[in-house]
Every structure is written in structure tokens, then in C-alpha cells.
A and B are shown apart, each in its own frame.
Chain A
Amino acid sequence: MFSGFSLFPAQASTLAPEIDNLYLGIIAITAFFAVVVVIFVVYFAIKYRDDTGDKVGAPITGSVPLELGWSLIPFFISIGIFVWASVVFFHIVRAPDQTLDIYSTGKRWMWRFQHIDGQREINELHVPVGRPVRVVFTSEDVLHDLFIPAFRVKADAVPGRYSAIWFEPTQVGEYHIFCAEYCGTRHSGMVGTVYVMEPADYQAWLSGGGVTGGTMLQQGEALFTQLACVTCHLPDGTGRGPSLVGVFGSTVTLENGSTVTADESYLRESILTSQAKTVKGYEHIMPTFQGLINEDGVAALIEYIKSMQAGGNRVASAQ
């Protein structure tokens, strides 16, 4: 019963110390106020105790300076916490530029992970220490939530769209993956393990097999031909659809004049519900591929589109 018992979680990512400092900071501030109030309540309750019930208290009705003081001081302290916590928040939600990308799908009741090099794993995730990793994921059915307490990150897996978390592991070891959004019968069985490995061990693991159907890039390329994407999305821009060369990460202007950044979510939406957004200057003739392609296929296609850069160089993020 006491094995592995601790009062504080493992600190295994670059974000973890930042979040822990925030946690301890807020504990210090709130504990101070709690102790002050408790001391006053206990002191008054004892000092002014009168069990006859026949006396009355002093005729004190209030004090405006006190009211202003205990409204404004907590307010300014709250602002301080708000700013601190928001800065940390943007570190959590904004991934660095160079990340190792991994795709994942939650379904009842397992997590599937798909590596760029083609490895697939279920409820296990192997990552190298000391390198920022970004997991892009969705759900095939209900809401799930990818939660890795040791890294202090989580995000909901929402069917129909992509979410992402990022982390840079700092400690080699094994850590829990939990599903943190209730998803039915075996919600508490939708758990797994992150294996943080030395870079050399990670390389050995990558080359250890488990690859079927080639790298994600190869799978994507095959799908691109098989689904006939290639007939409209010509690389030189003369096709019926816009050229996809260099589209990833660029700003796309839509027919209604608004702009959107072509990230994974945008590409995903364009493949599965192509009517949602149409690029300026093109007609919406693209069919929907909903039901024709599974989540793994969508991820592979996106990886392939990411790789289409002018001059044929792959983007760094995918490497």
C-alpha cells in the first residue's frame, strides 16, 4: 500500500518546474490569508465568548476604509497571480519551433501513437530525453483527454478536430499517461506509459522494427496518389485546386477575404470537410473524404503535405 507513495509528482519536463513554482507560490499566498483569517476567527470566538446569551455586542456597523482595503488588496494580489499564471500558460500552449511531431488518436479505450518514421504503438509512447516533442491528436469517438502528470500537460481529444500538447522531457524514466476526460465504461483503463529514453536508446528503439507500410511520409504519398489528390493539387498551381507546395505554416486567404494559418487542424478540416473553407480564387469542387480515410491516414497525408516545400526540402518540424 505504501509502495511508490509520495506527496509530490515527478518533475520530468522543462515545464514542470515552472508550474510547480506557480503552485507553491499560490500556496504561500493563500496560506497566508487563510492563517490570518483563522487566527482572527479563533481569537475573537474565544476572547468574546459569552454563553449567557444576555449580553449584546459593541455597536459597530462597519468601516469604509477597511472595506476598500480588503477589496483592493486581494484584487491587486489576484492580478499578480493572474499575470504570472498567464505567462506560464502561454509557455504551455505555445510549442517551440523545432519539435518532434507524433500523431495520436484516442478511442474507447486506448491511445494509438504514430511516429513520423512509421512506428505505431498502443498505450505506450517512446520519446527521447532533452528534445521538444509535440503530440497532435484527435478522437475517433467521444471526448478523451491526453494527460501526462509528470510533464504537467493535458488537453482534450475532441472528435472532429486536432488538439496538441508539447513537452521536453528532462528525466529518463517511465511516466503515466491518463485519459482525463470521462469516456465511458473503461475510462480508468485508458492509461498508458511514456518511456523517456536516452537519445541513443531512442534511436535503437526506432530502428527496432514495428514499422509496417513505410514511414508516414511514404504512406501519405501513397494516399495522395490513391485518393487522386494529385490530379487537382498540381505543384505548379495550374490545377483546379491550389498548389500545396509550401502551404503548411503559411497564411491562406479564403474566399470571404478572411485569412487562416494552415496548421494541422486547417489541413485536417480541408481534407475531411472541404466545404468548410474555400481558398480565394478557387471553386469548392473538392469532395469530402469523410469516411474514405481514417485518422492515421489523415495524419500521414498531413505529414506528406508538410513535406512539400519549394525545392523539395522537408520542413524541419517533421524531421
Chain B
Amino acid sequence: METTVVESPVNYVNHRHTVASWLLTYDHKRIGILYLIVVSTAFFLGGIFAALIRLELTTPAGDLLSADVYNRMFTMHGVTMVFFVLVPAVPAVLGNFAMPLMIGAKDVAFPKLNLLSWYIFTIGFIFTVVSMILGGVDTGWTFYTPYSSEFSESHVLITGVGVFITGFSSILTGLNFMVTIHRMRAPGMTWFRLPLFIWALYSTSLVMVLGTPVIAITLLMLVFERGLHLGIFDPRLGGDPVLFQHLFWFYSHPAVYIMILPPMGVISEVIACFSRKNVFGYSFVAFSSLAIAVFGFLVWAHHLFVAGISPYSALIFSFLSFAVAIPSAVKTFNWTATLYKGAIWWKTPMMFVFGFLGLFLIGGLTGLFLASLGLDIHLTDTYFVVAHFHYIMVGGAIMGYFAGLHYWWPKMTGRMYNDTMGKLAAMLIFVGFNLTFGPQFILGYLGMPRRYHVYPPEFQVLNVLSSAGASILAVGYALPLFYFLYSLKYGEKAGANPWKATGLEWTTQSPPLAENFPATPIVTEGAYAYSKREMKVA
């Protein structure tokens, strides 16, 4: 297995140098890098909004920002982070870069469509940035009607169109990935030899293709009502405001799984590599991804328990919400069991996995509180919800994204980053994250509603703790930018397989050739065949 890779001096990064060669590339690896640039920009933009929110909330009075500016800050934080960071981060950046390499393909099935997806995504992002420059949006990222359709005096239309456009990038990427995974696997790469990251991407693609059109239609209806005063959601025009919530969450709840399933796939890859073992219960982990993708479509109304739906339909959605938690629990137990009798190599990507496990555990378990009908009435729309979904979508998803970025960085760039700095970043993020969002659970149960610009003084202590945590978190998130950039020039050469990992992407040189492999690989074993190596067992 540990064969020497014949390194060619020419690779996908240096075979062409012009800006045009990047902007017109059909190479999935280069497109992955293009996504990385836009997503990172969005992440820092969204981070600045978050920093202003946390600064404002250090005092109970609204003294730093005006109410209107504050409302725009949390809205643009949400819009930027959800649609331009969390949804695309792992599939579009890491999926684009690694997926074809991992299945032994030369590229995705439709390389031109892949480039088009990036352009659509970027145009959508530009629309959203333009709306921010013009003054921003203040509806909350959920765009609830009739506020968004008839009352808000902010730039709802431009932002709505921006998000609408971006949706097509998701749909096309999902389609591209599904066809690629079906049709482009190397000889011998059967479904059950696929790395679990591929299973996760496949499940995610299903959700993207089936769910995204619904949000697109919903936003279009919002644009019609706002622009043309067609009565769809506003009761004064004969519409129903709760209808919007059903339609919005029919996409946006599954979207949570678009955000978390791919990072879960990353976790499976990294935990196998750094435990030097098979992932425990491979098929259970694989099918739990599919189960989450399917059941994820059946729980949307748990966002509406206080919105005026029938108590009996609330019962059904509560039950299904408990059910969808089980596959996530199964994954967590399997990852834990994977560690058993492993040879655990404490490298940076693995530190992010440990961080992920801790934060995802809290995020997942607090979901049970909100699925519980009798408790959700008190907790919904409070900081408890804010804390819960940040634990999943930031604690879980971004931790997984960072694990993947640190895992594949040597493959993407051919260079090693500083491992000590990487571990420091993982630790700062873990500590800062818990200090930021831990107190928010308590605030929520105390009754502090979300999206509050001013708040009663008795909530200040916990808010100050939260803001203090956010400053640690900011350092943790900014640190990788520096050591990653530093590594590009000064980092040690990585070689083909610095982690001594299994997986086809590690059999080619780093950075890979433009066409990925010198010759089409032939697969003869499962994804994590560490134990077949001629090495001493730990």
C-alpha cells in the first residue's frame, strides 16, 4: 500500500498561472479553491457582524448600535453565515476538491456546470453584499411574513433575489455530485467501498436537489407579494402568514442537514485516519446519513409549535423530531467506538474531531429539549434556541469543516501547516465556543428572547460572559488564516501521504496532477483498510 509516488513537478496549481486560467477552469480542484476564497470572505464578513452583535450586548442598553442597525446586523449575520458559509462550506469547498479524488475520478461528471455553479453562487453573494452596502436587510434570516413582505423598509428584494440565485448553485452542485458518484467511480470502487464522506455528500446532494427548489419558490412568492402586492402571506391581502413558515422551514430544516451531514462525513474520514482503523459499523454510519436526509424532510413544523398549528399535528412533528435524533446518536456512538483499540495519532485534524464530538453532543442533546412539546413552548424564540443551533451549525459544522480543511490542506497545497498552531486554534475555538454559547442556554431558560437589542439588566452577567467567549472564539477562527497562508510559502513539503492515510486521494502526489491520477486507479479493498497494512498492531 505504501508505494512511492513518482512526483511530477507539474500539478494542478502551477500548470497554468494566469488569472483567466483560474476563472475559466473546469478543474474541480481549482473550483474548490475558488469556493474556498468566497466562503472564507463570507465567513469573515459574517464574523464581523457577530462581533458587533456581541459588543452591543455587553450592556443592557442599546448604546453602541441603533435598533435598526442592530436588527440589520443579526439579519446579515444569519443570511451570510447560513447561505454563503454553512451550506456551501463542506460540500462546495471540500467536496469539490476531494470527492473526485476519493472515488478515483478525473473530475466531476459535468465540469462546466461545476464552474457555472460557482459563478451563480458568487453572483448571489454579490447581490447580497450589494444589498448590505445599500443599507442591508432587517427581517431576520428567516424573512418571516408579513413583516418582510409588507412592512420592512430595508432591502428585502435584493437580498431575496441574491439568496434565490444562490439556491441554483446548490441544486446544480447536488445534481453534479449525484451523477458523479453514480457514474464516475474507479473500477472496483463499489458502493460499500466508498469513503463515508462520499455517502454523506450523496445524502446531502439529495436534500439539495429536492429541498432547494422549495425555498426558491418561497422567496419568489415573497418577492411577488412585496413587489406586486399579490396576496399570498399577508392576511390583509387575503394571505396566510403561517403558510410562509411552512414553506420556509420545509427547506430550511432540511438545510440544517445540508450543513451538518457533510461535516459528519469529514469526521468519519478523519477519525478513521487518526485512529488507524475502520470506522466502527461502516454500513450503519452510511445508512444513518440517508436516514437523516429522508427524515429531515418530515420535521419542519417543529419550528411552528407556537405559531398556531393544531396541537395534534404538533404531536406528530414532535415525535418525528425525536426519531430524527436517533441516526445522529448512532453516528456519535459509532465514532466513539471507532476510537476503541485504535492507535490514536494526536494531530491537528483529530483535535478538531474531539472538539466536534464535544460540541455536537451538546447541540444534539439540547435538540431533544426543543423537540419536547411541553418544553418548547417556553424555550422557542429564546436564547436557548440560539445556543442550540449554534452548537450544531457552528460547533458541529464549522468544527467538522476545519477538521476537513486541516486534513486535506497538505493535499490541496502540498505544504504542511504548523501543527502546534493548529492545535492551539482547535483549543481556543473549543473553549471560546463553550464560553460564548453555554451561558445562552441559561439565558434562554430565564426567558431572554432572541433578536433583542436591549434587555433587562438581570441578564447582563451572562451576556458579558458570552461576549468574552466570543472574543476568544474570534482569535481561534482567525488563527488558521495566518498559519495557512504562512504554510503556502514556508511550510514543509507534505509529500503524497503525510497522514499515512488510506484513500485514493493520498495515492497521488500533493498537490495532485491536473488530471488527478497518472493512471486510473483500481480499487481492491474497502475505504479504511488500515489493518491490512504490514505494520505492527498497536
B307 interface hit (Cβ, 8 Å): yes
What are the 3 A-B residue pairs with the smallest beta carbon separation, nearest first? A149-B447, A88-B374, A160-B235
Interfacial chain B residues near A154, Cβ < 8 Å: 306, 377-378, 380-381
A33 interface hit (Cβ, 8 Å): yes
**Residue of A with least CB distance to B288:** A71
A205 interface hit (Cβ, 8 Å): no
B67 touches A188 (CB 8 A): yes
**Residue of A with least CB distance to B534:** A56
If A1-B464, A3-B457, A143-B144 touch, whether A56 touches B282 (CB-CB below 8 Å) is: no
Q: Determine which of A5, A71, A92 lies in contact with B377 in the assembled complex, contact meaning CB atoms within 8 Å.
A: A92
A34 touches B361 (CB 8 A): yes
B325 interface hit (Cβ, 8 Å): yes
> Which of A51, A158, A189: most chain B Cβ within 10 A?
A158
B490 interface hit (Cβ, 8 Å): no
**Residue of B with least CB distance to A158:** B308
A60 interface hit (Cβ, 8 Å): yes
Interface of A with B (CB < 8 Å)? 1-9, 18-19, 22-23, 26, 30, 33-34, 37-38, 40-41, 44-45, 48-63, 66-67, 70-71, 74-75, 78-79, 81-82, 84-93, 108, 141-143, 145, 147, 149-150, 152-156, 158-161, 163, 176, 178-189, 191
Interfacial chain B residues near A81, Cβ < 8 Å: 322, 368, 372
B147 touches A82 (CB 8 A): no
B242 touches A158 (CB 8 A): yes
**Residue of A with least CB distance to B447:** A149
Q: Which of B373-425 contact A (CB under 8 A)?
A: 373-375, 377-378, 380-382
Q: Determine which of A4, A23, A156, A184 lies in contact with B458 in the assembled complex, contact meaning CB atoms within 8 Å.
A: A4
**Residue of A with least CB distance to B240:** A160
Distance A22 CA – B378 CA, assembled complex (angstroms): 11
Q: Determine which of B138, B362, B378, B538 lies in contact with A48 in the assembled complex, contact meaning CB atoms within 8 Å.
A: B538
22 A-B residue pairs with Cβ-Cβ distance under 8 Å, sorted by A, are A1-B461, A7-B446, A37-B332, A50-B538, A52-B345, A57-B341, A57-B530, A57-B537, A60-B278, A62-B278, A62-B280, A62-B281, A71-B326, A84-B372, A142-B144, A149-B446, A155-B377, A159-B236, A181-B144, A187-B71, A187-B452, A188-B62
A188 touches B531 (CB 8 A): no
Q: Determine which of B323, B345, B369, B451 lies in contact with A187 in the assembled complex, contact meaning CB atoms within 8 Å.
A: B451
A55 touches B447 (CB 8 A): no
Q: Determine which of A6, A62, A87, A108 lies in contact with B374 in the assembled complex, contact meaning CB atoms within 8 Å.
A: A87
B339 interface hit (Cβ, 8 Å): yes
A55 touches B378 (CB 8 A): no
A141 touches B151 (CB 8 A): yes
How many A-B contacts at CB < 8 Å in the complex? 308
A8 touches B445 (CB 8 A): yes
B381 touches A142 (CB 8 A): no
**Residue of B with least CB distance to A49:** B344
Distance A262 CA – B534 CA, assembled complex (angstroms): 78
B471 interface hit (Cβ, 8 Å): no
B343 touches A55 (CB 8 A): yes
B455 touches A91 (CB 8 A): no
Interfacial chain B residues near A145, Cβ < 8 Å: 306, 381, 449
**Residue of A with least CB distance to B452:** A188
**Residue of A with least CB distance to B351:** A45
If A48-B339, A70-B333 touch, whether A53 touches B457 (CB-CB below 8 Å) is: no
A156 touches B307 (CB 8 A): yes
Interfacial chain B residues near A93, Cβ < 8 Å: 311
B257 interface hit (Cβ, 8 Å): no
Give B285 Cβ to nearest chain A Cβ, in Å: 9
B489 interface hit (Cβ, 8 Å): no
B235 touches A159 (CB 8 A): yes
Q: Determine which of B62, B71, B457, B536 lies in contact with A55 in the assembled complex, contact meaning CB atoms within 8 Å.
A: B536
If A37-B332, A81-B322, A159-B146 touch, whether A56 touches B531 (CB-CB below 8 Å) is: yes
Interfacial chain A residues near B277, Cβ < 8 Å: 56-60
> Which of B277, B323, B334: most chain A Cβ within 10 A?
B277
Q: Determine which of B318, B366, B446, B453 lies in contact with A188 in the assembled complex, contact meaning CB atoms within 8 Å.
A: B453
A57 touches B378 (CB 8 A): no
Question: 0/1 per residue, B509-538, Cβ < 8 Å to A?
Answer: 000000000000000000000110101111
B284 interface hit (Cβ, 8 Å): yes
Give B292 Cβ to nearest chain A Cβ, in Å: 13
Distance A185 CA – B240 CA, assembled complex (angstroms): 23
Distance A86 CA – B276 CA, assembled complex (angstroms): 45
**Count, chain B residues at interface, CB 8 A:** 100
Interfacial chain A residues near B67, Cβ < 8 Å: 185-189
Distance A163 CA – B306 CA, assembled complex (angstroms): 9
Interfacial chain A residues near B138, Cβ < 8 Å: 184-185
Known A-B contacts: A51-B346, A58-B342, A176-B456. Give 12 more (CB < 8 A): A9-B446, A37-B332, A37-B333, A57-B276, A57-B538, A74-B329, A155-B306, A158-B242, A160-B236, A179-B449, A186-B67, A187-B451
Question: 0/1 per residue, B326-369, Cβ < 8 Å to A?
Answer: 10011011101101111111110000001001100110011011
Give B439 Cβ to nearest chain A Cβ, in Å: 10
B374 touches A44 (CB 8 A): no
Distance A21 CA – B350 CA, assembled complex (angstroms): 38
Interfacial chain A residues near B372, Cβ < 8 Å: 22, 26, 81-82, 84-85
Distance A60 CA – B339 CA, assembled complex (angstroms): 10
B282 touches A142 (CB 8 A): no
Distance A159 CA – B365 CA, assembled complex (angstroms): 34
A185 touches B337 (CB 8 A): no
B140 interface hit (Cβ, 8 Å): yes
Interfacial chain A residues near B340, Cβ < 8 Å: 44, 48, 58, 60
Interfacial chain A residues near B460, Cβ < 8 Å: 1, 5
**Residue of B with least CB distance to A151:** B378
Q: Determine which of B147, B275, B366 lies in contact with A57 in the assembled complex, contact meaning CB atoms within 8 Å.
A: B275
Give A26 Cβ to nearest chain B Cβ, in Å: 6
B499 interface hit (Cβ, 8 Å): yes
If A48-B538, A89-B374 touch, whether A23 touches B342 (CB-CB below 8 Å) is: no
B326 touches A5 (CB 8 A): no
B483 interface hit (Cβ, 8 Å): no
Question: 0/1 per residue, B303-325, Cβ < 8 Å to A?
Answer: 00011100100110011001101
Interfacial chain A residues near B535, Cβ < 8 Å: 54-56
**Residue of B with least CB distance to A35:** B361
A185 touches B330 (CB 8 A): no
B487 interface hit (Cβ, 8 Å): no
Give B434 Cβ to nearest chain A Cβ, in Å: 13
Distance A149 CA – B343 CA, assembled complex (angstroms): 50
A53 touches B500 (CB 8 A): yes
> Which of A30, A88, A155: most chain B Cβ within 10 A?
A30
Distance A66 CA – B340 CA, assembled complex (angstroms): 14
Interfacial chain B residues near A59, Cβ < 8 Å: 277-278, 531, 537
Distance A33 CA – B325 CA, assembled complex (angstroms): 14
Interfacial chain B residues near A178, Cβ < 8 Å: 447, 449
A23 touches B147 (CB 8 A): no
**Residue of A with least CB distance to B148:** A142
B339 touches A45 (CB 8 A): yes
B278 touches A55 (CB 8 A): no
B221 interface hit (Cβ, 8 Å): no
